[in-house]
Structure 1
Amino acid sequence: MPKTNEKDAYFFSHDCNARNDPKILALRSVYGAEGYGVYFMLVEILREQPEYRLSVNKYIWNTLAMQMQVEASRLEQIITDCCTEFAENGSTLLVNDGEYLYSASLLRRMGKVDDISNLRREAAQKRWKNQPCKADDGSGASTSNANAEQTDANKRKAKQSKEKQ
């Protein structure tokens, strides 16, 4: 499941030479910088969505057009062409399967990011689960090493503050 927290929402892999990809060149040859901008704004919007896909409904073109400040009919044509015209080896820039609009490339790239994130989360949980507790008062509540160290640091700061006075 994709995350869209503040820290994570800003990242997706983007090739620095994407403007020279044959599919992007075809897009640019027809729509210029406007088409390029629409395409990448849509990829950014897709990145923020659950499962990195947008539900296709009767309002999708107006909604996207409002966000991108482009005429809805123009936006629909650009995106439709991204789904049908700008292709290489059977792969198009975007996919509209009638239910969802998405980028297969973004799904592939974010799948890798999500896999790495999940592995790191599992490793961290395993470390925390196996972390010995510094103190246990018998009540079932334990004080971790980090909490004890923070308390010690707070005591040192308070002592230093009193010494300065």
Structure 2
Amino acid sequence: MSQTFFISDHHFGHKLIIDFENRPFVDTEEMNASMIAKWNQVVNKEDTVFHLGDFSFLNKEKTQAIVSQLNGYKILILGNHDRGRSRTWWLDAGFDEVSAYPIIYKNFFFLSHEPMYMNKQMPYVNVHGHIHGQKYEGLHYYNVSVEQLDYSPVSFEQIRDAVVVNEEQ
């Protein structure tokens, strides 16, 4: 049975992010290889992955080489560092779908790159990235930046169950 996963902010090829976010890598080559391996440890070929932005700082050829190594049907929601390139650029790089706007998934998740304002009456959980090692407080936010997830995609069920458990406390 196929699963759906979420992750964001890989910043493939971005040398400075290693220091900015205290990532445990010596250089971008080690970082890229480790993040590809962690992705493929949890994602199977028949799974779907929503990448919530800031995927790669590399050129199209190198980005394509990374995307082609990653398991799953890959959907990209453009992040602030992705928006300088067109939807077509990202599709050519190997993503199966690309959205410039947030997506509502299963009437439960509001998928966006940046955290969106969610008041207490909102029926959604905002699954987002962008803020890397930081976390928004409250039941309506779930940060899927790689730093929050040990660089591995997280499943729909894991997020849903975490939110439901927190709601009951």
Larger radius of gyration: 1
TM-score (norm 1): 0.30
Question: Which structure dedicates a bigger proportion of its chain to strand?
Answer: 2
TM-score by length of 2: 0.30
